[in-house]
Structure 1
């Protein structure tokens, strides 16, 4: 959300603009922006106006209208609440149920086949992995953190297999986060970049050290 100053000196807010290909990132940014304005409750309202004031509805609708192109405004102008407008936009961008399921299947197949490229670093792999996972979750599908962690460990190049095996053997994958796994892989990546070869005993934590970290 950018802040600009008008000719009169007052501050105005510039929200991210929805396009044909950015619904996932747009919806995530818009949630933060609407929450920052204190009117996200209007989006999650069950329609009971005793819980959400009319002014709050209008503010939320104003924010939505500022962030969508004119052709979409014309499609949602009949919607009476920000919740209805938000759902209509999601339906237009994500598609009907059948289309959504097809998209999820395509994304899951892409996730399963994801492997690290020879020219990539661990950060690059993680960005691609998390991008697919985020798109799946935005479509309403559950994607457990432990599944993503295991996929990350399976997708690395051969030079990372030793540390990946150690993480799988001594780490608690059901509780480990993607960020924690990424950190351990990056630490290994930094070591193998060193000017001299490091022995396996220096490169990897011992079983006892792993157990202490997980305690």
Structure 2
């Protein structure tokens, strides 16, 4: 099965970005073998006497290439641009006309190159800017300079990137100087090395963030466990202190005699059928008897009165003796 390829269409020029269109169009004409008729305005030699059929066919093919190149240029511009070159009879005349009008004169081109070189020199990478973004912006300026006919070597572009990087890339630059020859390193290799360093830094930051989150979460869980354990321990101690046992104090329905809930009704100290041993009255026990204290004080007073006092007796006898002596006198 024979392979067939679709014909490549010529790039269309609308009056903007002439230098980009010129590069594309030059490649297109070279691919069709027509660029030499545009660049040099090559003339086809005349046929000699008594030419053969093969010579006549080759002459006709060569003679048709110049008009074909002019036709390619006509089809590669818009109608507005075509009006500038419609009077040109050769492809070289048409090409030079477009170059002079849209590409600018030599003086204008030199001024553009000077401005672009100044922009290239002052361009620096910002602290918050990515390496890929900065290199793309730098290469846009380099490509504009190259389109104007000026050359910038790969070594010059690499040096520009190295001197315009922020301070955070200093360690990576030092490692590259020790491991590689910076005069031979390509721009693509330099960008990949810087991006690899950035990826490693991001991975370390993510790992440290995950570790910090794990430690914080573990600390919060441990704090909750400690708080829960402390609360349970305090509750157990409180129950033990109140009830005298680890199980805590039992709760009963309100007593009909004293209205308390810490004892059953048959153990109440104020039930009607019980008699106090102290006051012999019913309705309470001796432990809560109110007249028990008064009786004890009365008994103590009686005992004190009944007990003899030797000192008082001696005083009494002495007073009596003295009285008798006075009577005798």
TM-score scaled by length of structure 1:
0.72
Contact 2:15 2:81 in 1 (8 A): no
1:130 aligns with 2:131: no
Correspondences of 1:35-54 after superposition (within 5 Å)? 35-44=30-39, 46-50=40-44, 53-54=62-63
Aligned to 2:114: 105
Equivalences, count: 187
Instruction: Tell me the distance in 1 between the aligned counterparts of 2:161 and 2:30.
Output: 32
Alignment of 1:194-205 (within 5 A): 194-196=203-205
The one-character-per-residue Cα deviations of 1:99-127 (angstroms, maximum 9, x if unpaired) are 11110011001101111234432222222
1:80 counterpart residue number: 89
Aligned to 1:26: 21
Alignment-derived partner of residue 144 in structure 1 = 153
- 1:115 has 2:109 as partner: no
Structure 1 contact 122–189 (Cα < 8 Å) conserved = no
Relative to structure 1, the CA distance from residue 173 to residue 36 in structure 2 (aligned partners, 3 Å threshold; closer, same or farther) is: same
Maintained 8 Å contact 1:122/1:186: yes
After superposition, the Cα gap between the structure-2 partners of 1:47 and 1:183, relative to the gap in structure 1 and judged at 3 Å, is same
Q: 1:167 to 1:14 in 2, by over 3 A?
A: same
1:12 deviates by 6.7
Is residue 2:10 matched to residue 1:15? yes
Q: Which residue of 1 aligns with 2:190?
A: 181
The answer to which structure, 1 or 2, has the higher relative contact order (CA under 8 A, 6+ apart) is: 1
Q: After the TM superposition, which residues 59-98 of structure 1 pair with which residues of structure 2 at under 5 Å, given as runs?
A: 59-98=68-107
Secondary structure of the 2:203 match is coil
Q: Which structure's CA Rg is the greater one?
A: 2
- Unpaired runs of 5+ residues, structure 1, are 1-10, 199-215
Task: Calculate the TM-score normalised by the size of structure 2.
Answer: 0.50
